[in-house]
Amino acid sequence: MLIGRVIGTVVATRKDEKLIGSKLMITQPLDLELNPKGDPIIAVDTVGAGIGELVVYTTGTAGRIAARKLDAPIDAAIIGIIDEMDFNKELLEGP
């Protein structure tokens, strides 16, 4: 899974009918310092994530599992809203 921030939505009237009812969120991948890293992806929201929220998202088949739509063409979904990240970057420093 990856860390991202929901920054918006995509509106698509003409789309795969299996996507009807799924919210397509523009989600920006982030690094540990919560800076943008790489380009945004479109993930289906499955946990009621709001714009601006810090989230965990999953990709591939796991996205369809999250959406409880195994027959939908989904390859990414938001699966958690991050309350807190605890980490120690010093663990990455050399001996």
Provide the CA 59 distance to its chain's centre, in angstroms.
8
Tokens of 73: 């063409």
Q: Read off the amino acid at residue 51.
A: I
First-residue to last-residue Cα distance in the chain: 29
Binding mask 4-43 for a copy of itself (x = CB under 8 A): -x-xxxxxxxxxx-xx----x-x-xx-xx-xxxx-xxxxx
How many residues form the binding site for a copy of itself (CB under 8 A)?
A: 67
Kindly list the residues in this chain that would bind a copy of itself in the complex (CB under 8 A).
Answer: 1-3, 5, 7-16, 18-19, 24, 26, 28-29, 31-32, 34-37, 39-43, 46-48, 51-52, 56, 58-66, 71-77, 79-89, 91-92, 94
